[in-house]
C-alpha cells in the first residue's frame, strides 16, 4: 500500500494558508523510513541519521478504536525540518498537526477520530508511543 504520492496538498491550520510540496522536493529525499503498526500500543522512533530522510509511520488499529499518540522527544535537525500528523489512513487525510523547524513546539499528544493515523517527518528526530486507551500501557523510560 502506497502512503505517499508525489504531489500532495497540506493545510497549515495555524496560519490558515495552504502549501504544496512538489515532486522535486520529494526527490531530494534519499531514503524513506518508517513502518506500519497494527498493535493496540507500541513505540517508534527514527535514528539520528534522518536529516535527509522522509519518515512515515502508519498506525491502523481495530475498528471502533481511537489512537492516542504521545510525543516523548523531538529534536529538530535543521530549520527546514517538519512534522505532520494526519487523521486517517493516508497523507490525504485531515491534518491534526503541522509543525516546521521554525516552530518546533509540538503538542504532547494527539487523538484520532477513527482507527488510523499517519505520522510524517522530515529533518526531525523523534520518539513517540501510542495506545488505544483500551489497555494498560507503560510509557518506556
Bigger pLDDT: 99 or 105? 99
Pick the CATH number of 8-131 from 2.60.120.290, 1.10.10.10, 3.30.70.1560, 1.20.1090.10: 2.60.120.290
- Domain boundaries defined on the chain: 8-131
Q: How many CA atoms lie within 13 A of 136 on its CB side?
A: 1
For 37-79, how does the pLDDT look when each residue is reduced to its tens digit (9 = 90+)?
999 999 998 877 656 788 899 999 999 999 999 988 887 766 7
CB 40 within 8 A of CB 131: yes
Q: Which three cell numbers stand for residue 93?
A: 487525510
- pLDDT at residue 78, as a whole number: 65
∠ CA 35-40-43, nearest 5°, is 50
Amino acid at each position: 500500500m502506497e502512503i505517499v504520492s508525489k504531489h500532495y496538498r497540506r493545510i497549515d491550520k495555524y496560519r490558515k494558508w495552504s502549501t504544496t510540496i512538489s515532486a522535486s522536493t520529494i526527490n531530494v529525499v534519499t531514503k524513506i523510513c518508517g513502518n506500519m503498526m497494527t498493535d493496540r500500543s507500541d513505540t517508534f522512533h527514527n535514528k539520528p541519521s534522518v536529516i535527509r530522510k522522509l519518515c512515515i509511520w502508519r498506525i491502523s488499529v481495530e475498528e471502533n478504536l481511537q489512537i492516542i499518540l504521545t510525543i516523548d522527544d523531538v529534536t529538530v535537525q535543521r530549520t527546514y525540518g517538519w512534522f505532520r500528523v494526519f487523521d486517517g489512513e493516508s497523507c490525504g487525510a485531515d491534518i491534526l498537526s503541522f509543525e516546521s523547524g521554525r516552530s518546533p513546539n509540538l503538542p504532547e499528544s494527539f487523538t484520532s477520530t477513527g482507527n488510523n493515523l499517519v505520522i510524517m517527518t522530515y529533518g526531525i528526530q523523534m520518539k513517540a508511543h501510542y495506545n488505544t486507551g483500551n489497555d494498560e500501557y507503560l510509557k518506556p523510560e
